[in-house]
Structure 1
Amino acid sequence: MKKVSSINLADRLQAASRLNVLQLAEKLGSISEACRQLGVDRRSFYTWRTRHRTEGFEGLIDRLPIHRSHPQTTPEPVVERIKELALMYPEHGCNRHEKTLAHEGIKISANAVQRILNRAGLGSRKARSQASAGAAARNQQDTDKARSGRK
């Protein structure tokens, strides 16, 4: 019985071209020259060579990317609460938010709070103040629209 390979054609062609680089380097006796001729980064060459030695031809196939989720990722409700606090109290920094969250039973470091605020574009006091003012203006417009609709 033949073993049916689950490798698609594109992956096989890519692995074959990588094997070609390895074979050329062996033939020339110079890794640098082989990489130069084929336009390959030497760092990639060494990665492929190591994987080829340990895993064979299948090691030359690209691997699936590492999943972005991490077991210690801050839960989304906590991230939303941090953003909410930042907009409610733009003058407070990450240390103050850390203490506020601790009183609410949420254990998170000040560094993690700052990192979350930076990703949300709320890392500086100025950015939080501007975002808070913009949110207040939108809320006022919504309130005005609701009132004018009732009359």
Structure 2
Amino acid sequence: MMRLLLNKQVNTPKNFYISGFLPEFKNEVIIDGAYYFSENNALHVSGSLRTEISVCCDRCLKSFTSVLQTTFEEEFMSKDLAKTYYAYDNEGIDLDGIMYEILQSAMPEKFLCSESCKGLCDQCGIDLNKSICQCDTREINPKFEMLRSLLLED
């Protein structure tokens, strides 16, 4: 569990560093941030998150480790006043749930092993980063498909 212990006397940002594990992520999650209380007793927490995740390339299906890093800025209310799921108590705040949501929203749409990844051949499935296939990759306009069948009869 990743828990931030609070000093309620903090009106100016107080730095903190937490490392731990979230159940959904196998590798260590590192939080480097700061917190302070505003006049209305709202807890303001900001900082950066970093972890490594094991993923498969969306083009070639190769497994690799990707660094997931993002910044965040959140505001929490006391459990007495809060109507939301994430709130702090007199001792601190559990960060597991909100950090999981922040990391999930920071995930890219596609994971690529490299920007120049060529992927797999859509006809034979060979990894185009390692070899060149002999498949006919010319695209034929569907309007001329009948003509193509005439060429293949020869």
Task: Output the TM-score relative to the length of structure 1.
Answer: 0.23
Q: Which structure's CA Rg is the greater one?
A: 1
Task: Output the TM-score relative to the length of structure 2.
Answer: 0.22
If asked which structure has higher relative contact order (CA below 8 Å, sep 6+), I would say 2
Q: Larger strand proportion, structure 1 or 2?
A: 2
